[in-house]
Amino acid sequence: MGQPEGSSEASPGASAALEGKWLPPRRPTRQIHVGSVAVGGGAPVSVQSMTTTKTADVEATLAQIYDLAAAGADIVRCTCNEQAAAEGLAHIVPRSPVPIVADIHFHHEMALGALEAGVQGLRLNPGNLRKEAEIKLVASEARDRGVPIRIGVNAGSLHPEVYERYGGATPEALVESAKIELAYFEEVGFEDVKISVKASSVSLMIAAYRLASDTFDHPLHLGVTEAGPPPAGLLKGTAGIATLLAEGIGDTIRYSLTADPVEEARAGRQLLEAMGLRDRRDVDLIACPSCGRAEIDVIGVAKAAQEALEGRNLPVQVAVMGCVVNGPGEARHADLGIAAGRKRGHLFIRGKIVRVVPEDQMVEALVEEAERLVAEGVEARLAAADAGAEAAAEEDRRELLEAKGSDANHAGQRVELIRKTVSGG
């Protein structure tokens, strides 16, 4: 997984490192890890987004996660508002190409269920989850599992007492809300925290984050909440996020748009590249993290593909998937990808199988097809698909399902734990 680098530009321009050298140094913060993605402590600024599907709909959610990863998201958040969502996460987490953060609002049981599902992060809203004992219980469980928590303060959902004390949603009120939550965490010895103090007002958001940066040494998650649809939403998000990044404030970002979340991920990635905070690369390679159904060494093949494709000036999104059962569907919006099945690789373009090659030729086939894709275009390459490729893929899918079953990741066991945890049984 890690933090994918990539660009959709056909001819990469000047190095982002050179573009970014005019910015002030980033303010030092602690470093935490959301799965394999480092946040803060000098790590590259990461891009986040959030799914809009029902988390209980595993296949739709995974497809959107892959779309987001292909567009530049390093971390993806999914809502966990009911037991079915927690159970869905048990199936989603082992198949996701990027770390998953569970979004929790009113019910601490959902946080506990999400932890059982194996999520790599939690987001708690102090204005909605208010009972001290419940907050400490969640923090203790996260501490024991090494799972970080984002204290997600929102100007629109401040605790009534804080709102009253400060006379409204002020920068001081937002920061105070985070301080109260952080104090609960500290009482149980939990410090693996990042903080956000979002507002829909750009000026309030900027002032709140400046104060938060002066107050905390924890990494900060930047965003203008409820920014609305593009283009106004993009302008508001950019105004707030870019202003702070230009001051050295911020460790991870999310655009909050009333739009396809892929637009959020793409905008975040493009902003960081434009500011010289992430490198531009000619190929954007994503890969599944491997799971119980994987037929190949996903990490090894992904690394070999990255090395083979790098530097060829091929502006394509490439996916390396561990199995043909789920791979082409989950990564259907990647320009090009390959999925393993029965000692052979299934090459797909935009989710459609076009060729079947021996396993030891997978990387070579990817490079060849990527070059043809750039030279000839998607439609021409789809038209040139090998006859029988789809049928061969379907045959491999059936045999893999028969050999490994429908629950190769043992998600069912996690679902049972979630049900016991959430119900208190």
Q: Residue 395 belongs to a domain with what CATH number?
A: 3.30.413.10
On whether both 249 and 303 belong to a single domain, the answer is no
Number of Cβ within 10 Å of residue 134's Cβ equals 17
Question: Would residue 423 count as lying in a domain?
Answer: no
Residue 85 has pLDDT above 90, yes or no: yes
On whether both 256 and 330 belong to a single domain, the answer is no
| pLDDT for 2 | 35
3-state secondary structure of 52: coil
φ/ψ of 84, rounded to 5, equals: -60, -35
On whether both 154 and 67 belong to a single domain, the answer is yes
Confidence of residue 21 (pLDDT cuts 50, 70, 90): confident
| pLDDT for 281 | 64
Cα distance between residue 198 and residue 201, in whole Å: 9
| pLDDT for 295 | 66
Contact 136, 188 (CB under 8 A): yes
Beta bridge partners of 87: none
| Chain segment 292-317, per-residue pLDDT in tens | 656 667 788 888 998 998 878 888 88
**Domain containing 174 — which CATH number?**
3.20.20.20
On whether both 100 and 246 belong to a single domain, the answer is yes
| pLDDT for 313 | 81
- Which residues span the domain enclosing 389? 292-404
Most confident option among 271-280, 369-378, 391-400 = 369-378
Question: Would residue 416 count as lying in a domain?
Answer: no
Residue 401 has pLDDT above 80, yes or no: no
3-state secondary structure of 47: strand
With CA atoms as reference, report the closest residue to 220 among 235, 230, 210, 233.
210
On whether both 68 and 180 belong to a single domain, the answer is yes
- In the predicted model, what is the mean pLDDT of residues 60-88? 95
On whether both 112 and 160 belong to a single domain, the answer is yes
Question: Would residue 141 count as lying in a domain?
Answer: yes
Beta strand spans in 246-378 (E) = 252-254, 283-287, 316-321, 336-341, 344-349, 352-358
- Count of domains for the chain: 2
Question: Would residue 354 count as lying in a domain?
Answer: yes
Of 78-82, 289-293, 321-325, the range with the lowest mean pLDDT is: 289-293
On whether both 87 and 188 belong to a single domain, the answer is yes
Cα distance between residue 11 and residue 299, in whole Å: 27
| pLDDT for 6 | 35
Question: Would residue 411 count as lying in a domain?
Answer: no
420 DSSP assignment: H
- In the predicted model, what is the mean pLDDT of residues 185-201? 97
- pLDDT > 90: what percent of the chain? 67
Question: Would residue 94 count as lying in a domain?
Answer: yes
Please state the separation of Cα 397 from the chain's center in Å: 27
On whether both 323 and 253 belong to a single domain, the answer is no
On whether both 40 and 98 belong to a single domain, the answer is yes
Of 183-192, 215-224, 337-346, 373-382, the range with the lowest mean pLDDT is: 337-346
Domain boundary among 246, 274, 302: 274
Question: Would residue 28 count as lying in a domain?
Answer: yes
